[in-house]
Amino acid sequence: YETVAGAIELSGKSGDYNRIGVGLHVLSDKAGTSQLTTNIFTASLAYNIALSRNQDYYVSTGLQISYTQRSFNPYNLTFGSQWVNGTWSAENPTREDLSSTKLTYVDAAAGILWYHINSRTKKSSQFFGVSVFHVNRPPVAFMNITSDKLYTKFVAHAGLEFRVAPKVALTPY
């Protein structure tokens, strides 16, 4: 198994109170006898909007687009159907459809988060967010199976963060 990953994220001001963020994430993974290879290139964009001049209420929105490449080497695989009369041979047919060894797809996600920071004490905050992943339901099968797609996933989260010491905070979700 070999995995290499890297990311860069940058943010900057947008107007007096708002911020914009961009990110690029790259992952490359090769696993197992078949050398199943997965390369994922992800671009992210986020925008943080201050809802008040006190800068204590915010809404953050984000979009993420990924491009995925997957492949495997079928010549390193063996199958039970290659056993004939108690003898295994690589020359025996596999009865497996290995005509498609490469797959590419685009995946999309989006989310929104509301949060509050106590502007007087800066010691507590509340947040609530929702996200949706695999918006476009990309196909993930090497074979041409149109029903084999990633399911759309919905996530909601909420929590409260409060400081218990100058450099320690608790965040129950």
146-162 per-position pLDDT tens digit: 678 899 999 999 999 88
Q: What is the pTM of this model?
A: 0.80
DSSP states of the chain: -EEEEEEEEEEEEETTTEEEEEEEEEEEEEETTTTEEEEEEEEEEEEEEESSTTS-EEEEEEEEEEEEEEE--GGG---GGGEETTEE-TTS------S--EEEEEEEEEEEEEEEE-TTT--EEEEEEEEEE-TT--B--SS--TT-BPPPEEEEEEEEEEEEETTEEE---
44-64 per-position pLDDT tens digit: 999 999 998 877 899 999 999
83-140 per-position pLDDT tens digit: 888 888 878 888 787 888 899 999 999 999 999 987 776 666 899 999 999 999 998 8
